[in-house]
Structure 1
């Protein structure tokens, strides 16, 4: 996992930057010590970081010359009070980028990825696999890394398949970082929670002919011109938006809503889904011609249960973030907890693992985390029996239905969602879509007879 150094004295701003970076698959390092000053940065070996994200005002006020203290390391300056003169001065001194705070997550992630690509181009001291914002050395992950290295430098569209919570967006970011477009932005959009009409405006923009010019709005396809657009949960995209997206892929051009003007776009499209697109095509919910355009190259992201001891490497990385976030530096996993994590099948994958560890860190009173605080079934996991020859594999939706029906009597809605690695809102939406009504709770007491 790529680690980025943050130099920001303001605790709230530092927490915001940490949240943005971690949500985009980067890990975060900070200078040691309660007081951030030049000495604390001098004591660090910064040569292994692909870039430094530093506060423009914080470094100036504390006398920290981040350019002198981090020679050869790209510096992204974050300005609480952006100023044109300060930006010009920073760029003259060698800043890789100058961004306002609060930072746009995609903009900051793209700036970091440009730094990574530039260091790789110049022969910086970064191992190839460190460019991938993922953790794990198991055979399935090694195969995944190799496939990313082969596919990344091309301009082919890529369809990433995998269960929910496996890290499909991290794979997309690794593909972008390996491509010739690495210095351009990568923009992400999750198609699942966005209403159909809004998602079309988000993608294609809006420019009504009878409105003022200042009301026109660029879509994400235009914003990602020259770079990469990642569409997560592509199976949720409506048929009308699918037709417009197919046009973009076929002709390399688009029209904003309400406009007759055709605009050229040069975008690499990466999509992801956990759904069975073949079944959606059969049911008339997904266009077959679009599917062939998207599925030029396919990548399968392995579920956590197939990655062996990677679960412990991931757990340690997640625990390190949680320790720093909550100030519990002495916490560690007990041996029974480590064994429980190895035995559990993790139906919610990495997302469920993150939820379990964060909950355990919050609730743990001692130094060693016991297995019961992880709130997982610590019993040995029995591998599933192989299906008979020719039998269809159980779909993720079938698994969801069977899991909910099997556990809804013993678990609350919050616990069900946590076990599945999804939010309560997503659980409710899937119940509605798959027609799995919640069981009515029994009355708290006998009804009183009228007096």
Structure 2
């Protein structure tokens, strides 16, 4: 249910507008001036509807202060000049009073739809070199990720990113930091698995001179270095228990104490953690502190593996290929049709990182203008039963491909119909080598209904 803030100094108009919107299932709050609207924090809403003429500041003042929330301007002075001026300042649209109810509702719905579409656009990420580029992918699972990033970034809470190795957890952390209020402060990235267990407490929390053998000088830890900014701890499941206890104190009290010191120091750090492991399961075996898990898991973002992003694989491959060609001075290389099929059907256990490495190999080994499957060096078997990717240059008169697709679909239909009474959906998907989502999609496309398994007796 969308939340709308009405800013109007005339109580009769404000009440009538609120009732109209509430009858159409909008949640509405009211303010009589720009000052009152700012007290309600317009960024908490999905749309602001403001009169142009208000006591004190004009309604157009909210356009910048509510950004990126859209502002719809109302005016009883239905001149094109005031409307154009409002649009130039960034208003999403305008309506003239007295307004037609249907027209107003249509304008509100359109503004909310446009805002929702913008909200799910991939966030831009500034790389260490200074280049800004959006995250890649538009599948449904990534749309959820983008929405969670947009909502989480300004909240300044701890975030736990979960996903397989190579799915881009650090990119998500960068996107959150760069869209947060701490964007101007440092982002410190630490891979907990890459630091020896004997040194990790010193690296994170620092030490005093003489605290242990080899500590010839005092050292500032990475937590303190991130003061005022964001600390990203990748592979936090590898953090030793002693370091976990120290990190818990940072989250609870905002304090650190260097190794060998009796003094504590206050730090203001936002923590983003990432892992490919099940931290709750690790807590049951005593490998991870349950209280730390609860502190970390305020907001959770789950990254899908590449094999579940069928719609994105080839788009990602094309972008990574362009970068690899540029690095090696081989502009103009492209993937053959067979290579595109191989890339689409391969299960990618190493996710985007493995795809990037395969394309790098292909650019180096290709001898013509095309990269062939052998150049990619993929050793694992391709994912079975994956649908072939759409190809713009693929003709309709290629019977070989059609026959192959038909045989795969026949096999799929035969296998599901024969085994669905004895297997669960998860077991069927595992046997076929596909995800449950892919199994459901193929059922829909081929018209194979899902049979409900009979209830098993408790005895």
Q: TM-score normalised to the size of structure 2?
A: 0.55
Which is greater in Rg? 2
Contact 1:249 1:293 (C-alpha < 8 Å) held by counterparts = yes
Q: Spell out, residue by residue over 1:168-195, the C-alpha distance to the aligned partner (whole angstroms, 9 max, x if none).
A: 0001001101110011010000011211
Q: What residue is the counterpart of 1:249 in the other structure?
A: 251
Give the alignment partner of residue 384 of structure 2, picking from 381, 385, 393. 381
Contact 2:186 2:229 (C-alpha < 8 Å) held by counterparts = yes
Give the alignment partner of residue 218 of structure 1, picking from 210, 217, 220. 220
Taking the aligned partners of 2:141 and 2:369, their CA distance within structure 1 comes to 33
Instruction: Report how many aligned residue pairs link the two structures.
Output: 267
Q: Spell out, residue by residue over 1:50-80, the C-alpha distance to the aligned partner (whole angstroms, 9 max, x if none).
A: xxxxxxxxxxxxxxxxxxxxxxxxxxxxxxx
Residue 380 to residue 187, structure 1, CA distance change in 2 (3 Å)? closer
Q: What residue is the counterpart of 2:197 in the other structure?
A: 196
Q: What residue is the counterpart of 1:174 in the other structure?
A: 175
Taking the aligned partners of 2:170 and 2:211, their CA distance within structure 1 comes to 38
Q: Spell out, residue by residue over 1:320-351, the C-alpha distance to the aligned partner (whole angstroms, 9 max, x if none).
A: 11111111112001111111111111111001
Contact 1:208 1:257 (C-alpha < 8 Å) held by counterparts = no
Q: Indicate the SS of the match to 2:271.
A: strand
Residue 339 to residue 209, structure 1, CA distance change in 2 (3 Å)? closer
- Cα shift at 1:136: 1.1
Matched, 1:290 2:292: yes
Q: Indicate the SS of the match to 2:155.
A: coil
Q: Indicate the SS of the match to 1:365.
A: coil
Q: What residue is the counterpart of 2:139 in the other structure?
A: 138
Taking the aligned partners of 2:332 and 2:425, their CA distance within structure 1 comes to 50
Matched, 1:157 2:158: yes
- Cα shift at 1:134: 2.0
- Cα shift at 1:311: 1.0
Q: What residue is the counterpart of 2:186 in the other structure?
A: 185
Q: Spell out, residue by residue over 1:232-290, the C-alpha distance to the aligned partner (whole angstroms, 9 max, x if none).
A: 00000000000010011110011001111110000000000001112211111000000
Contact 2:241 2:287 (C-alpha < 8 Å) held by counterparts = yes
Q: Where in structure 1 do 4 or more consecutive aligned residues deviate above 2 Å?
A: 127-130, 208-211, 375-391
Q: What residue is the counterpart of 1:359 in the other structure?
A: 361
Taking the aligned partners of 1:238 and 1:214, their CA distance within structure 2 comes to 24
Contact 1:309 1:342 (C-alpha < 8 Å) held by counterparts = no
Q: Spell out, residue by residue over 1:397-419, the C-alpha distance to the aligned partner (whole angstroms, 9 max, x if none).
A: xxxxxxxxxxxxxxxxxxxxxxx
- Cα shift at 1:309: 2.7
Residue 275 to residue 265, structure 1, CA distance change in 2 (3 Å)? same
Residue 130 to residue 299, structure 1, CA distance change in 2 (3 Å)? closer
Q: Indicate the SS of the match to 1:196.
A: coil
Aligned positions of 1:38-437 closer than 5 A: 129-132=122-125, 133-208=134-209, 215-376=217-378, 379=382, 381-382=384-385, 388=424
For structure 2, the residue ranges without an aligned partner over 5 or more in a row are: 1-119, 126-133, 387-411, 431-459
Contact 2:210 2:217 (C-alpha < 8 Å) held by counterparts = no
Q: TM-score normalised to the size of structure 1?
A: 0.56
Q: What residue is the counterpart of 1:31 in the other structure?
A: none
Residue 390 to residue 355, structure 1, CA distance change in 2 (3 Å)? closer
Contact 2:347 2:382 (C-alpha < 8 Å) held by counterparts = no
Higher mean C-alpha deviation, range 135-144 or range 229-238: 135-144
Contact 2:139 2:309 (C-alpha < 8 Å) held by counterparts = yes
Contact 2:177 2:230 (C-alpha < 8 Å) held by counterparts = yes
Q: Indicate the SS of the match to 1:352.
A: helix
Residue 247 to residue 375, structure 1, CA distance change in 2 (3 Å)? same
Taking the aligned partners of 1:350 and 1:337, their CA distance within structure 2 comes to 16
For structure 1, the residue ranges without an aligned partner over 5 or more in a row are: 1-126, 395-451
- Cα shift at 1:208: 3.9
Q: Which has the higher contact order (CA 8 A, sep 6+)?
A: 1
Q: Spell out, residue by residue over 1:15-68, the C-alpha distance to the aligned partner (whole angstroms, 9 max, x if none).
A: xxxxxxxxxxxxxxxxxxxxxxxxxxxxxxxxxxxxxxxxxxxxxxxxxxxxxx
Contact 2:336 2:370 (C-alpha < 8 Å) held by counterparts = yes
Q: What residue is the counterpart of 1:447 in the other structure?
A: none
- Alignment RMSD: 2.7
Q: Indicate the SS of the match to 2:274.
A: strand
Contact 1:189 1:230 (C-alpha < 8 Å) held by counterparts = yes
